[in-house]
């Protein structure tokens, strides 16, 4: 039996006035587990002080699971969902669908999902764009606040600077500390809600408690961790039982500077014709060099080994790597892939 835990930090979520828990429930992976397990995880989270639930229209039937499992407790949590639609009419109907799937008559924050390119942002903001649908939904009381998410922190910092968004969702983890540079200070200055995601960076960062304590030591309101069981909720909560003291913060910051040296933002501008998952290789390599091979990294390499080994012989990349021509950060991806291949015995 999992008992109730003690400590939870709450802070005012920017201008929303809502006091959010430092740990938020990421509902992205719930569609992969039995409904009863999802129900138990969500209710256990609410019973233990988590009051921020994050999902997206694009996370398979995650919104429906929330509607099924916790809509009867709607007043107990701040509900964040996302639309990846770019056009007004598509976003308008997707917001309506989210409301009905989640069995609620309001969404606390609707986030324009995964905006990574300037031309995409322009599309969202034009007259016929998704932003207008969010504004109209807010005027109609169906949405309370408008947010934005993406994987290019310096672009997000620019895009939020004219005050059109109330909240921003970004990566912040030991291996992805880049939001600290411009984005977090800009959002703080604008009194926006700051939501950090993927503290475990898809499982590459271990152990869980250290991984969570890094964003917990930073200037963010809530940290979304993807959880699928009450036991995982308990493990995540336990990592926040103690506040981070200055000495531990310095240690975590030094570690993040080291693990972030790969500089990959996961923006996915690169794409490999051999389907090598380049950002995952970049990030897992940094972790491997520091800590050796962790279970998630080992499983990942096993799955993608043959592709990774083929990089060196791929003719079109011999003169100029195709992936590197697309990376806005000019990173040496081919070298990292081939070092990984060497590690795998290629």
- Using CB under 6 A, list all residues that contact ligand SF4: 264-270, 272, 274, 276, 278-279, 282, 311, 314, 317, 321-323, 326-327, 329, 331, 333-334, 337
- Cα separation, 144 vs 137, whole angstroms: 8
Q: How far is the CB of 10 from ligand SF4 (least distance, A)?
A: 34
Q: Is 264 helix (H, G, I), strand (E, B) or coil?
A: coil
Phi and psi at residue 292, to the nearest 5°: 80, -170
Q: How far is the CB of 334 from ligand SF4 (least distance, A)?
A: 4
Of the two residues 41 and 169, which places its CB atom closer to ligand SF4 in the complex?
169
Of the two residues 233 and 267, which places its CB atom closer to ligand SF4 in the complex?
267
How much of the chain is helix, strand and coil, in % rounded to 5?
50, 15, 35
Q: How far is the CB of 44 from ligand SF4 (least distance, A)?
A: 35
What is the DSSP secondary-structure string of 101-150?
HTT-S-EEEEEE----SHHHHHHHHSTTBHHHHHHHHHHTTSEEEEEEE-
Of the two residues 10 and 329, which places its CB atom closer to ligand SF4 in the complex?
329
Q: How far is the CB of 275 from ligand SF4 (least distance, A)?
A: 8
Beta carbons within 8 Å of 110's beta carbon, 6+ residues apart: 81, 82, 83, 95, 98, 134, 137, 143, 145, 146, 147
Joined together, the tokens standing for residue 33 give 């587990």
Q: How far is the CB of 282 from ligand SF4 (least distance, A)?
A: 6
Q: How far is the CB of 285 from ligand SF4 (least distance, A)?
A: 11
Alpha-carbon separation of residue 340 from 35, 109, 276 (angstroms): 38, 40, 12
Of the two residues 286 and 327, which places its CB atom closer to ligand SF4 in the complex?
327
Q: Is the dihedral of CA 152, 309, 29, 45 positive or negative?
A: negative
Of the two residues 149 and 217, which places its CB atom closer to ligand SF4 in the complex?
149
Of the two residues 155 and 267, which places its CB atom closer to ligand SF4 in the complex?
267
Pair 105, 75: CB distance under 8 Å = no
Beta carbons within 8 Å of 225's beta carbon, 6+ residues apart: 23, 24, 25, 26, 199, 200, 212, 236
Q: How far is the CB of 190 from ligand SF4 (least distance, A)?
A: 26
Q: Look-up: residue for tokens 């993927």?
A: 198
Of the two residues 122 and 271, which places its CB atom closer to ligand SF4 in the complex?
271
């Amino acid at each position: 039996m999992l008992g109730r835990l003690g400590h939870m930090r709450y802070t005012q979520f920017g201008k929303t006035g809502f006091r959010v828990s430092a740990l938020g429930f990421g509902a992205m992976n719930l569609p992969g587990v039995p409904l009863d397990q999802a129900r138990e995880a969500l209710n256990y989270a609410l019973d233990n002080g988590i009051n921020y639930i994050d999902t997206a229209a694009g996370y398979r039937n995650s919104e429906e699971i929330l509607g099924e499992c916790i809509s009867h407790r709607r007043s107990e949590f701040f509900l964040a969902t996302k639309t990846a639609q770019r056009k007004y009419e598509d976003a308008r109907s997707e917001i309506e669908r989210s409301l009905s799937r989640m069995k609620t008559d309001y969404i606390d924050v609707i986030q324009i999902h995964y905006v990574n390119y300037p031309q995409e942002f322009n599309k969202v903001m034009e007259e016929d764009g998704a932003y207008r649908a969010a504004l109209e939904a807010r005027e109609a009381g169906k949405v309370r606040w408008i947010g934005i998410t993406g994987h290019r922190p310096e672009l997000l910092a620019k895009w939020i600077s004219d005050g059109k968004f109330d909240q921003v969702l970004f990566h912040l983890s030991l291996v992805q500390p880049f939001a600290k540079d411009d984005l977090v200070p800009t959002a703080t200055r604008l009194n926006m809600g700051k939501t950090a995601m993927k503290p475990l960076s898809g499982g590459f960062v271990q152990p869980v408690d250290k991984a969570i304590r890094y964003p917990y030591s930073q200037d963010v309101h809530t940290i979304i961790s993807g959880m699928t069981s009450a036991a995982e909720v308990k493990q995540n909560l336990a990592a926040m039982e103690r506040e981070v003291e200055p000495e531990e913060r310095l240690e975590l910051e030094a570690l993040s500077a080291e693990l972030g040296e790969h500089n990959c933002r996961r923006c996915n501008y690169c794409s490999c014709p051999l389907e090598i998952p380049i950002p995952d290789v970049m990030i897992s390599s940094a972790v491997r060099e520091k800590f050796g091979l962790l279970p998630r990294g080992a499983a990942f390499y096993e799955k993608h080994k043959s592709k990774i080994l083929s990089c060196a012989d791929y003719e079109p990349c011999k003169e100029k790597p195709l992936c590197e021509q697309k990376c806005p950060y000019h990173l040496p991806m081919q070298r990292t892939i081939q070092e990984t291949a060497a590690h795998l015995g290629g």
